[in-house]
Amino acid sequence: MGRSLSRCSREVAHDNSEPMWTRYFSDRPGPWPLIPVVHLARTIYHGPLFAKRIRRLGGPVGSYLEVGVGTGATLKALRRTTGAACSGVDKTALACRLAKRNAMGCDVLIADGLLLPFRDATFDLVYSLGLLEHFPDRKQRCLLREHARVARKTVLLHLPADVPHLRFLLWLNRTVGGRSGVWADEELFTMAVIREKFPELPFRSFFDVLAGAMSYWFVLKPEEILRHVVAPR
């Protein structure tokens, strides 16, 4: 128990600062063009695929909030395919500008996912993609509670899986590509890790083979999170 707890207990995470994310969103093709490829893939493949997953896992709903919306590729596809009210927040000003341009008809604003500027139970479904893994453990609990606070029906999390090819990719980015931060240092998840971090939560999970076989979807009810996840003092 002690051994595995220390494996997943991280009070220090990698750089999750706004300058790091601004560099990420302004990356141009160079000798190691990983990030431009990621952005292109998000636009033409993952955005529509993730929107399909969210529709299936969340069922029919009238409103969505994406926390850490990035360039808005998924929100745009959700809006187009459901006509639901779609909102997104991001703490990075450049991401918000790109999302506003990209996800027409959606409400996008600058806000911190740890302190969302919305009343309790404002949105039917609240989700995040590639967000939780950039926070240390204590803040992960705060982030999860904040997702749940503003959600009415469902919370969805999309997290990177601890699989050999993703580990290898991150290692390659660090050692050969000279990267740090996103796509280099983030936490990877297994079912065992997620159960250890949040032992009371009845996570329903789905391993997404079509998204590169490197991610999990987790489905939760907001009341389950609010009942069991205690925000650290």
Ligand X SMILES: C[S@@+](CC[C@H](N)C(=O)[O-])C[C@H]1O[C@@H](n2cnc3c(N)ncnc32)[C@H](O)[C@@H]1O
Q: Decide: is 133 part of the binding site for ligand X (CB under 6 A).
A: no
Q: Decide: is 16 part of the binding site for ligand X (CB under 6 A).
A: yes
Beta strand 63-67 with 85-90: parallel, antiparallel or unpaired? parallel
**Do 125 and 54 form a contact (C-beta atoms < 8 A)?**
yes
Q: How far apart are CA 53 and CA 34, in angstroms?
A: 24
1 vs 115 by CB, closer to ligand X: 115
Q: Decide: is 141 part of the binding site for ligand X (CB under 6 A).
A: no
When binding is defined by CB under 6 A, the residue of 48, 58, 130, 160 that contacts ligand X is: 130
CA atoms within 13 A on the CB side of 149: 18
Neighbours of 42 (CB within 10 A): 20
Contacts by residues 102-105 (CB-CB < 8 Å, ≥ 24 positions apart): 102/43, 102/71, 102/72, 102/73, 102/76, 103/69, 103/72, 103/73, 103/75, 103/76, 103/79, 104/76, 104/79, 105/79
135 vs 198 by CB, closer to ligand X: 135
- Sign for the pseudo-dihedral over CA of 122, 157, 132, 210: negative
> How many amino acids of this chain bind ligand X (CB under 6 A)?
21
User: Which residues ranging from 64 to 123 are in contact with ligand X (CB under 6 A)?
Assistant: 68-70, 73-74, 89-92, 95, 112-114
Cβ neighbours for 199, distance < 8 A, ≥ 6 positions apart: none
> In the numeric block, which tokens belong to residue 179?
């990267």
Q: Decide: is 125 part of the binding site for ligand X (CB under 6 A).
A: no
Rounded least distance, CB 87 to ligand X, Å: 13
The helix (run of H) or strand (run of E) holding residue 89 is strand 85-90
114 vs 219 by CB, closer to ligand X: 114
User: Which residues ranging from 179 to 208 are in contact with ligand X (CB under 6 A)?
Assistant: 182
Q: Looking at 5-13, 126-134, 201-209, 223-231, which segment touches ligand X (CB under 6 A)?
A: 126-134
User: Which residues ranging from 28 to 47 are in contact with ligand X (CB under 6 A)?
Assistant: 42
95 vs 144 by CB, closer to ligand X: 95
When binding is defined by CB under 6 A, the residue of 129, 151, 156, 211 that contacts ligand X is: 129
Q: Decide: is 21 part of the binding site for ligand X (CB under 6 A).
A: yes
Residues in touch with ligand X (CB under 6 A): 16, 21, 42, 68-70, 73-74, 89-92, 95, 112-114, 129-131, 134, 182
